Amino acid sequence: MTHPTFLHSLESNQNLFDDMFNNLLSGLIVADSNYECVYINATAEQILSVSQHHLLHKNVIDILTPANYEKLLTQASEQSHTDNDPITHKKTKAQVKLALQNQFEHTKKMYQAFIHHDCTILGLSTQGIGAPLLVDYGVSPLETEAGFFYLIEIWAKDRESRIQQEQYQNHQHLITRQMIRSMAHEVKNPLAGILGASQLLEKNFNQIMKSDGIVSYINDTKAQKVANYLSIIMDETRRLNNLVTQLLGAPNLPNWQVINVHEPLQHVLTLAEIQNPNISLVRDFDLSLPEITADKDQLVQVFMNIVNNAIQALNENDIVSPSITVKTRIQHQQTIADIRHKSVLRVDFIDNGLGIDSELLPQIFYPLVTGRANGTGLGLALAHDIIQRHQGQISVTSQPGETLFTIFLPWQIRQITK
């Protein structure tokens, strides 16, 4: 039963109608009896990675054409119960489309919905056929005064799998982080004792060397060696103490302010250009982006860690024409953790290096995980912590010739993160 006020609002307010369907968690396509798309919501745009303008008036059969067509042919054959049905003949692309069309017609004739699970569809792109997409989709009939329509709901399995994987990795990251922090706390106190004792020895070194019990055993050369050893002990203790401090994480809470994300990006890229003139640093910025609420200094730290990692990988492997591209965009209908955002900021860092080892990739944001002999494995772990503190998301994909770090950040913070 529909509330009269709500029904009147729907009838009189097209914007309310659009808002309702654009806020659905599933993609929605409405097609007429000729399979022509007459409506596409924002989630369907995101899933198919094509604009509504490009999808309107396209044939929904083309959009849903499966790449794994054998499964569809079997299902359609069982539904038709006809041995002589043309869909049982040679499995051509035309017959695949015919099989899907027959299912649509069966839905219209019997007024009965159907669902396909784990279907890899080809979708569409501005150049024609799109990239394969793993989805579930359902088709329901709708008879109205304006005519007959098909309602197609689409659920992106790739995104669901990615969200589940991210949640698992975040949980593992938290456990690892807590364990390492506990160990770091235990190490920090003995280090403070060693450093304090070493500093005390250094301060009183000359007096100790002149004492009757020692002077007879140590000449000036040996005394200088002892002083050098003492200096090494203090330097290494300080280095270990700095490492432990990084493991414990930055103690400062974010200094929230409204900023233009291109300011910290420009700062990092300008420094990188000065220090690495051999690497091409490409800025692909959308200068119309809204401002965000963030800690500018902490974002500088995140961006610098990612860019420095890319630079080191490019320099160590002698890449021909090394380049790093930094891209900023608006990402619509993005889910971060368990929150669905209408739009968020997206920042991509793309380098043309050899890529990250596939075995290392799932743990790349864990503390002490590194692919370099002289790396500490703390930079990306700290970046992960800072982005989470900003209620955002960081991910990486890598293959030979391209590594992509992607950061999603909400425009505003829901609540102050402690």
Nearest to 126, CA basis, from 53, 37, 35:
53
In the chain, the amino acid numbered 286 is: D
Q: What's the token pair of residue 223?
A: 């005394």
Q: Is 341 helix (H, G, I), strand (E, B) or coil?
A: strand
Is residue 370 pLDDT above 80, yes or no?
A: no
Q: How far is Cα 411 from Cα 418, in angstroms, rounded to an integer?
A: 18
CA distances from 394 to 80, 169, 281, 303, 345 (A): 48, 11, 21, 11, 12
Q: What's the token pair of residue 155?
A: 């659920």
264, 268, 274, 280 alpha-carbon torsion, rounded to 10°: -110
Q: Is 52 helix (H, G, I), strand (E, B) or coil?
A: helix
Angle, CA of 365, 371 and 374, to the nearest 5°: 110
pLDDT band at 65 (very low <50, low <70, confident <90, very high): confident
In the chain, the amino acid numbered 252 is: N
Weakest-pLDDT range from 6-15, 102-111, 249-258: 6-15
Q: How far is Cα 53 from Cα 46, in angstroms, rounded to an integer?
A: 13
> What mean pLDDT is predicted for residues 130-156?
86
CB-CB neighbours of 294 under 10 Å: 28
Q: In this structure, are residues 23 and 148 in contact, taking their beta carbons and an 8 Å threshold? A: no
CA distances from 185 to 191, 267, 384, 418 (A): 10, 34, 21, 20
Q: In this structure, are residues 115 and 157 in contact, taking their beta carbons and an 8 Å threshold? A: no
Give the largest CA-CA distance in the chain: 111
* pTM attached to this predicted model: 0.61
For the chain, the first-to-last Cα distance in angstroms comes to: 45
CA atoms within 13 A on the CB side of 367: 21
Q: How far is Cα 162 from Cα 60, in angstroms, rounded to an integer?
A: 26
Is residue 81 pLDDT above 80, yes or no?
A: no
pLDDT digits (tens, 9 = 90+) for 212-245: 555 555 556 666 777 777 788 888 787 777 767 7
Which residues are within 8 A (CB) of 387 and not within 5 positions of it... i.e. 6 or more apart?
Answer: 302, 393, 394, 407, 409
- Who wins on pLDDT, 97 or 275? 275
CATH of domain 4-159: 3.30.450.20
Q: What homologous superfamily is domain 257-409 in, according to CATH?
A: Histidine kinase-like ATPase, C-terminal domain (3.30.565.10)
Q: What is the mean pLDDT of the chain?
A: 78
> What mean pLDDT is predicted for residues 342-362?
89
3-state SS of 239-285 is: HHHHHHHHHHCCCCCCCCEEECCHHHHHHHHHHHHHHCCCCEEEEEC
CB-CB neighbours of 241 under 10 Å: 16
Is residue 271 pLDDT above 60, yes or no?
A: yes
Q: In this structure, are residues 121 and 157 in contact, taking their beta carbons and an 8 Å threshold? A: no
